[in-house]
Structure 1
Amino acid sequence: MTPPTAGTPATAAPTAGAAPAASGDNPTGNGSVDGAERARTGWLLLVGMLLVALNLRAAMTSLGALLDEVRVGLALSGTMAGVVTTLPAVAFAGLGATTPWLVRRLSAPRLLVLAMIALTIGQVLRVLTDSAVVFLVTSALALAGIAVANILLPMLVKQYFPHRTGLVTGVYMMTLTAGATAAAAVAVPVAHASGSWRAGLGVWAALAAVAVLPWLPAALRTGGAARRTGRHGGRARARTSPGRTRLGWAMALYFGAQSLSAYAIMGWLAVLFRDAGFRPQDAGLLLAGVTALGVPIALLMPVMAGRLGDLRLLVLALTAASSVAYLGLAFAPRGGAVLWVVLLALGQGAFPLILATIGLRARTADGTAALSAFTQSVGYLIATLGPLVVGILHESTGGWTAPLGFLLVALAVQTGAGIVIARPRYIEDERGPAVAGG
């Protein structure tokens, strides 16, 4: 991968071979930067993006693997445990929606540094308390950092890698999946080796602290250029209103239903396997298997979506994999565990699919920004139901048939929305009435 030209604002759709941005928009603020320095800056920012991506799921999948230990250690009820596993979606819906407003007041690199600091502090504080309430509050602080970073990374990819957005997005999604896998696989062994679940959760704070370092130079020298990019994003939302279109709502429903099942799986799959008779270590490894198998899928799905004109077969194939997995977990969780994990991983390919589709269903960078903001904020709001409802159903029925039935209903909604977004068209062509920009 050739190093990018750092500091190129993504205010319009990039064209092949476009010249670097004018020096006035260079985030170094030096007026001009030679090619070697641009290359060094580009590689540093790429490393920074990948380190941030490693952190975007670790705090959640490590908790999922150790949820039983945390429930016992903090005396959490099943409903309270459901609230804990619902926090990510709540934070992503609420804080993610405010990120464009924050970027208009702070540069994106500065905001990303603050997000990683919040993630670090939150992960440290939540393992130092014996209070369930403090655990929830400090977990929310950590998740607030992840929520902001979720929105910032695609924005930064467009800003600093305008000619390689697809490739860089695929690479950072692979890295995100690898981080989730490592956290799920390592959390239980670390907890057992140290004699406490606190170490299994707290160790990931060090990774978040490391992710701050590559962004410090950019955070110290950027300001006006990044804020100008944020203001462009505000005008984009003023021109395009996905919430007034059928395509926009279909995208949000697909994203929301998929995220609902993803967070339910991350929060409860290890518990399901423990209830089926697996040792805690093996249950954690099975959960890690879902995310590990998702690593190549995270790279391949955007490529396949870009090459296919119509996505219906892809949508239906992902639905079929998830359906068989849910039925298998309901009726033969122990005997076919490996097969269900493989099929779950395939079904979760809907996540990179919908992220890739956001770009495919917009003609311009403005349209992409508006569609992305609406899809993710509404989608994560829908996703809050997943872990909470699964926890309540599991506690009230004492089994997993009802929770898995609920996930099958969500999958039906996801499939219906997927059929709508599968046909090639663009959000700008369905543009609703103008709304005020921020």
Structure 2
Amino acid sequence: MRDDESLTLDLPATPHTAATQAATQAAPHSASQPAPPQPAAPGAGLPRWVRVLALAGLVLAAVNLRPAVTSLGPLMTEVRDGLGMNGTMAGLLTSVPAACFALFGFAAPRLARRYGPGAVVCAGMALITGGLLLRPFAGGTPAFLAASALALAGIAVSNVLMPVIVKRYFPDRMGAVTGVYSMALSLGTAVAAAVSVPLTHAMGHGWRLGLGVWAVPAALAVLVWLPLVRDRSAATAPVSTSAAAATGENGRITRSRTAWTMAAFFGLQGTAAYVTMGWMPQIFRDAGISAGQAGLLLAVTMVMGVPLSFVLPQVAARMRSQGPIVVVLGAFQVAGFAGLWAAPAAAPWAWALLLGVANCAFPLVLTMIGMRSRTGAGVVRLSAFAQSTGYLISIPGPILVGALNQSSGGWGLPIALMLALVVPQVLCGVLAGRNRYIEDEL
């Protein structure tokens, strides 16, 4: 995307601006009718300390968006034994994140309009803290699932609002700030995967304390977000009827082909990510690799996203179409799953690295969400629809993988399923990456 196009993305949805955009699309300005001056980007007039605090909040929130999931994968065997889970129930457990993200993600836009995105994200961090504190005290599978769902509800609303926060506070630095946020998310994901097993062994209290310790960084995030709770000036304010008509605000998001392809791409890449986070350590352990090394391998997969998540959004933001990046990431995904299928213990570090690159489809799709709408309100709608619908799409994948493993007694059939899903994932990603806006389709 060119630099001049980024300004178009960040215009606030006022009646004057909407009408100006409509007139600009209808006919070019003549010499006698020069274009009216454009208003400043919505985050340009904010005090520096507010933007610094928002950036710190974004980083801390991102760090806490995955440990509830990736701390569980390396300890799955211990959790299953401690709670008496079978393979299918464990597969259901790995699908709980997607189900919660879909269910609660749909509520995020309405909550943000009523209370402000800062307040909702702060509440989300508080839910993560509470859920992670309660999970170690679960005496059975239902209680463990309930505590996990509480934490995942907080992750869900925060997930949806992260692109909104970026567009609100950093409209002139969307690619760079998305990269920082994505890098922090990958770092939190990797650290949780790498140190959960060593922490469990070091503290000597079994898997429960090893999972509960991740409530500490979530509580820290709550403290940072508290000063932003009362800021309700995000780009989610209602617009007038004429402005909404001119910008497509009144159209149903389900009428947009770009929104559907974005949701499908989000769901399919999410399926691959949650299968990787939930089952890859178990695949390595079943191949004879120790639990500690399996956790390190998952950490390698996650840590690959740290540098790539910083660079990739900036590269994608400068491209008119993100399709080529989608294809490259799909090729890495095929290579990684093929290695797990053929010989998981032969070159485990290579398979972990390949899947780590493939998992960078997540920061890519976050960047694409911010680029496919002209207004902040449009980003809210697209983010909520694409993420919530996408997570619904991703729910069956981890469950099927667990069920196929249990029924077949091996990992060949589950991994073959994951290889087959790469084809529609790449196709939907290429279509979602085309240079167009959802407002034009509504």
Q: Shared fold by TM > 0.5?
A: yes
Deviates more, 1:98-107 or 1:377-386: 98-107
8 Å contact from structure 1 (residues 119, 205) kept in 2: yes
Residues 1:229 and 2:233 aligned together: no
Distance 1:418 1:11 in 2: 28
Within-5 A mapping of 1:21-420 = 38-195=47-204, 196-219=206-229, 221-222=230-231, 225=233, 229-231=236-238, 238-420=249-431
Task: Quote the offset at 1:292 in angstroms.
Answer: 0.4
Segment of structure 1 superposing worse, 134-143 or 103-112? 103-112
Please give the per-residue CA displacement for 1:113-163, whole angstroms capped at 9, x wherever unaligned. Answer: 221111111111110122111111011001001111111222222222222
Conserved 8 A contact 1:100-1:230: no
Which secondary structure does the structure 2 equivalent of 1:104 belong to? helix
From 40, 58, 68, the equivalent of 1:18 is 40
Sort the Cα spacing of 1:233 and 1:70 in 2 relative to 1 into closer, same or farther, 3 A.
farther
Taking every aligned residue pair, what percent have the same amino acid on both sides?
Answer: 45
Matches of 1:327 and 1:71 in 2, distance apart?
Answer: 27
- Distance in 1, matches of 2:41 and 2:374, equals 21
Report the CA distance shift for 1:424/1:110 in structure 2 as closer, same or farther (over 3 A). closer
Q: Quick one: distance in 1 between partners of 2:254 and 2:164? A: 21
Which range moves more in the overlay, 115-124 or 42-51?
Answer: 42-51
Change (3 A) 1:218 1:294: closer
The one-letter code matched in structure 1 to 2:222 is: V
* Cα distance, 1:17 vs structure 2: 9.0
User: How far is the alpha carbon of 1:16 from its aligned partner?
Assistant: 9.5
1:180-211 deviation digits (Å, cap 9, x = unpaired):
00000010001111231012110000111010
Work out the CA distance in 1 between the residues paired with 2:239 and 2:288.
Answer: 54
Q: Assess, with a 3 A threshold, how the Cα gap between structure 1 residues 247 and 21 changes in structure 2: closer, same or farther.
A: closer
Amino acid at match of 1:418: G
| Counterpart amino acid of residue 293 in structure 1 | M
Whole-angstrom CA distance in 1 between matches of 2:256 and 2:209? 47
For each residue in 1:333-382, what CA deviation from the matched residue of structure 2 results, as whole angstroms up to 9, or x when unmatched?
01121111111112112222222222333334343333222211111110
What SS class does the counterpart of residue 229 from structure 1 fall into?
coil
- Within 2, Cα distance between the matches of 1:313 and 1:229? 32
Alpha-carbon distance in 2 for matches of 1:84, 1:161: 36
Question: Does the 8 Å CA contact 2:12/2:375 hold for their aligned counterparts?
Answer: no
- Read off the aligned partner of 1:253 and give its amino acid letter: A
Structure 2: gaps (5+ residues): 1-9, 18-36
Count, aligned residues: 408
Q: Distance in 2 between matches of 1:307 and 1:197?
A: 45
Instruction: Return 5+ residue gaps in structure 1 as ranges.
Output: 1-7, 27-37, 432-438
Range that drifts further, 264-273 or 293-302: 293-302
How has the CA–CA distance of structure 1 residues 124 and 232 changed in structure 2, closer, same or farther, with 3 Å as cutoff?
A: farther
- Give me the whole-angstrom Cα distance separating, in 1, the residues matched to 2:39 and 2:189: 36
Range moving further from structure 2, 353-362 or 146-155 = 353-362
Structure 2 distance, partners of 1:167, 1:411, is: 28
| Cα distance in structure 2, aligned partners of 1:52 and 1:89 | 18
Q: Cα offset for 1:41?
A: 2.8
What is the identity, as a one-letter code, of the residue corresponding to 1:275? Answer: D
CA distance in 2, matches of 1:16, 1:351: 33
Measured after TM superposition, the shift of residue 307 of structure 1 is 2.7
Change (3 A) 1:218 1:350: closer
Residues 333/424 of structure 1: CA separation in 2 closer, same or farther (3 Å cut): same
Asked whether the 8 Å contact 2:43–2:169 carries over to 1, the reply is no
What's the RMSD between the two structures over aligned residues? 2.6
C-alpha distance after superposition, 1:385-424 (max 9, x if no partner): 1211111111111111111111112211102212323432
Alignment equivalent of 1:429, drawn from 420, 436, 440: 440
- Cα pair 1:276 1:333 within 8 Å, conserved: yes
The residue type equivalent to 1:207 in the other structure is P
Residue identity in the other structure for 1:289: V
Q: What residue identity is the alignment partner of 2:120?
A: L
What SS class does the counterpart of residue 146 from structure 2 fall into?
helix
Normalised to the residue count of structure 1, the TM-score between the two structures is 0.87
CA-CA distance at 1:101 after TM superposition: 1.3
* Residue type at the aligned position of 2:40: A
CA gap of 1:282–1:230, structure 2 versus 1, over 3 A, is farther
Report which stretch shifted further, 118-127 or 97-106: 97-106
The residue type paired with residue 399 of structure 1 is: G
Secondary structure of the 2:111 match is helix
Distance in 2, matches of 1:175 and 1:332, equals 32
- Higher alpha-carbon deviation: 155-164 or 64-73: 155-164
